[in-house]
Amino acid sequence: MSTTTLATPHTEELLAALTEIVDLSNQDLIQENANVDGQSPMGQMSKLASETAKFYTKNRILSEEVIQAINDNYLHPHDLDFMATGTTTCCQIPLGKLLKGGFNTGHGFMREPNDISSALALSSIILQSNQNMQHGGQSYPLFDYDLAPYVHKTYCNHLKRLKSYPITLTLEEIEELAWKETDRDVYQASESFIHNCNSMHSRGGGQVPFISINYGTDTSKEGRLLIKNILLATKAGLGNGETPIFPIQVFKIKKGINFDTEEPNYDLYQLALVTTAKRLFPNFSFIDSSFNKPFYDGTPDSEVAYMGCRTRVMANIHGQENSIGRGNLSFISINIVKIALTADNYQSFLLKLDYYLDLAIKQLLERYEFQINKRAKHFSFLYGQHVWKDSDKLNSEDKLETVLKHGTLSVGFIGLAEALVSLTGKHHGESESAYQLGYQIVKYMRVKMDQASEKYQLNFSLIATPAEGLSGKFTKRDQQTFGKIKGITDRSYYTNSFHIPVYYSIIAIEKITKEGPFHSLCNGGHISYIECNGDVSKNVEALDVLVKTMAVSDFGYGSINHPVDRCKCCGYTGIINNECPSCQNQSEDMIERIRRITGYLVGDMSKWNTAKRSEEQERVKHK
């Protein structure tokens, strides 16, 4: 580890940033993350700590070479403010194991629940407790399978009670009534879980936990009942009809289970389409894609699971290859636009890209060394409650290498479209030759990650960066260096990862087929969106076509965007232009506009930074 004393940023710059936070005068600074209310007291405290922690990390932990690359706007280590704490990014939580054995949040033991209401209540507590152990999100990879036993317990409770009554009903009638009451309980528990996900707070009250759930393939009666009711509760919305922001919901698509009409969960897939048409969730993942199917052996544990904005963790050179009890350790993004702008030709671009890929790998290794030298006791819930794979083998004083070696280290990228314009004059949406070049660039980065995995015996991966705050940071600094170059630096944001630019008019099917091949290259995470116009709830068949096209185009993870507005005056939900069609409200402050920012939803666009607001305004609809 370096103990460099480079003052980057300088003390004066740090004080200036802290002043902007106190004065709430810099929207882009206080709202880098739209999931955090940066204007609240706890949000301000968090941001003050964040900027100070970054200052410490740059001056006491990072190597000078990495600091220089950050200062030169080529590299961006994500969540740098958490580096000094040794936290990891995210984790796929083995919910069934925690519920079965019970768990301790640090203030008392929670025993195994006896019904679905208690099980989902404890599921919320697990998420809230775990959020304080890491800097990213968390997910339940087997939401339906893990909770089905507690649906069954609920049914057994009702059956036992009904059998004790002196009533003249047949056993078949009693069983039918028990299932009916169970159905009611599962809906109420699902409704409560969704309300909890949008109201409980973590990290000192600064934000609600960043939560994902994966479901859709459990064909048992209990599992199907849970899937149905979580979708119905999502579709119904919150107390005043608001669209739930969390959990991020991922419906897993699998041939033989829910893909075609004769399959057992096809009806639930149709309900998922109806729900996403109204609430933007669930998104859709594809177990049968060329890069997810090889992991699938017919068991639930082998099904791919996604979390957060797009993170995917499957391959593992140190053991069983699945998502359970594993996560991303950290990731860093490369500004390939600046590399292109400073390259004389494609060969010099590759040489420079190679240098910064090596440097990104070096930074991830530095951070990994820092993380594994923490001790299990420093993360009492993650490791003490055996959330992470193999953490049951740790004592409180043990260091973390044997556990964290199962995680992933990811390099991401931003602005493929703008880089291609710099190199060829056109982006990959408008030119076939630019498209082929873009594919080769991303493939080059993926090969580099595979080589790093082999060399260092760690799970390196390539991620399609979910650029939120970074989309404007890289661009703003490049504008200071290069000015505004048409098609490259003339907007306030760079295009997210490998996506076709949001402002480029393209047919939906063509966008899907063009972006699909990039999913297999970005094994650390990926997502693609389609922007629909109008009320898609009136054309669910079209959504079905889009999802099926994603499946045949080798998507791993996709979602469908469309306008979801709500009038705060009368509660009307639908498309609202300048005036509410129900009560004629024309006040923009009284209209909630739900939009997807990088992979998750945000209902109050006042929490968006300038770059993402600009990007949202320029999104064209795909016909």
The structure's pTM equals 0.92
Q: Is residue 26 part of a domain?
A: yes
Q: Is residue 45 part of a domain?
A: yes
What pLDDT score does 518 carry?
98
pLDDT in tens, 52-69: 888 889 888 999 999 999
Q: Is residue 56 part of a domain?
A: yes
Q: Which domain holds residue 23?
A: 18-61
Q: Is residue 614 part of a domain?
A: no
Q: Is residue 30 part of a domain?
A: yes
Q: Is residue 435 part of a domain?
A: no
pLDDT in tens, 164-179: 998 889 999 999 999 9
Model confidence at 533, in pLDDT bands (50, 70, 90)? confident
Q: How far apart are CA 66 and CA 47, in angstroms?
A: 23
What pLDDT score does 163 carry?
94
Length of the chain: 623
Contact between residue 514 and residue 549 where contact means Cβ atoms under 8 Å apart: no
Q: Is residue 228 part of a domain?
A: no
Give the Å distances, CA to CA, from 551 to 143, 466, 495, 595.
22, 22, 24, 24
| Lowest mean pLDDT segment, chosen from 93-97, 260-264, 470-474 | 470-474
Q: How far apart are CA 360 and CA 366, in angstroms?
A: 10
DSSP state, 581?
T
What pLDDT score does 474 carry?
94
Structure token digits, residue 233: 């509760």
Residue 117, amino acid: S
Structural domain count of the chain? 1
pLDDT in tens, 11-25: 877 787 777 777 777
Backbone angles phi, psi at 586, to 5 degrees: -120, 5
Q: Is residue 27 part of a domain?
A: yes
Count of other CB atoms within 10 angstroms of residue 156: 14
